[in-house]
A and B are shown apart, each in its own frame.
Chain A
């Protein structure tokens, strides 16, 4: 079956670093995506990993280990506007994108 797990909620302080973990079990693997979704809005693309290792993009980095079925999203220098849900998604052997339930991040002053 298809399964993606993420923590439901996380809280962090403005200026801090937070790591959001994602584990997956899918019927195939053609890439892992992270999306940000503010309340009441559509998801927006953050990052993409298809090979093992770290991809860095400004304050956001994403890591992938295919052998462990594991990824994380690292957010540095947290800002209040980073309060949102973060969705982990896997593109499986077809064109099906399987999304996790999302992690709701609250950034406190």
Chain B
């Protein structure tokens, strides 16, 4: 257990529905990242927060995806009008600014779109 938690762990939804995932980072970490990982591939960067500010967003991320980090604590990732191609593991990671920027990953939320 790295100290980063994600909920839910699994989500099955029908195409066209909206889903929201939550990430609770390590409390003193000010940086929070979202990644998407499909089978046999490495994590793909989606977006990054420093405190409550969303500082970077992947150009691959469509406008159906949105993320928030109110008050610089937990974060939510919402996918609207889900598509079968959205099926993946969604990973959250947190880190401290400065130092090595080592990231601590949560267990992930596995999304299946039917």
Q: A42-B107, A94-B56, A97-B33 are in contact. Are A87 and B43 (CB under 8 A)?
A: yes
With beta carbons under 8 angstroms apart, the residue of A30, A96, A101 that contacts B56 is A96
Residues of B within 8 A of A44 (CB): 2, 105
C-alpha spacing A44/B2, complex, angstroms: 8
CB atoms of A99 and B103 under 8 A apart? no
A23 CB to nearest B CB, Å: 14
Q: How many residues of A contact B (CB 8 A)?
A: 23
- The complex places the Cα of A42 from the Cα of B58 at a distance, in Å, of 21
Report the bound CA distance from A95 to B58 in whole Å. Answer: 11
CA A87 to CA B45, docked complex, whole Å = 14
Whether the pair B100, A43 counts as a contact (CB closer than 8 A) is: no
Contact yes or no, A31 B100, CB < 8 A? yes
Residues of A within 8 A of B56 (CB): 94-96
Task: Identify the closest chain B residue to A91 (Cβ).
Answer: B101
B98 at the interface (CB under 8 A from A): no
In the docked arrangement, what's the CA distance between A48 and B45, Å? 19
By the criterion CB–CB under 8 Å, are B42 and A100 in contact?
A: yes
Q: Could you tell me the distance between the alpha carbons of A50 and B98 in the complex, rounded to whole angstroms?
A: 13
Chain A residues, Cβ within 8 Å of B91? 42-43
In the complex, which of the residues A94, A95, A98, A100 has the most CB atoms of chain B within 10 Å of its own CB atom? A95
Cα A48 to Cα B100 with chains together (Å): 7
Q: Verify A102–B107 contact, CB threshold 8 A.
A: no
Chain A residue numbers with a CB within 8 Å of B103 are: 33, 45, 97
User: Known interface pairs A95-B31, A95-B55. Does A43 touch B43 (Cβ–Cβ under 8 Å)?
Assistant: yes
Can you list the 8 inter-chain pairs with the closest CB atoms, starting with the nearest? A99-B42, A42-B105, A48-B100, A99-B43, A45-B102, A102-B42, A87-B42, A43-B105
Pairs across A and B, CB under 8 Å, 7 listed: A45-B103, A48-B100, A95-B101, A97-B43, A97-B45, A99-B43, A99-B44
Known interface pairs A44-B105, A96-B48, A99-B44; 5 further A-B residue pairs with C-beta atoms within 8 A, sorted by A's residue number: A42-B105, A89-B42, A96-B45, A97-B33, A101-B42
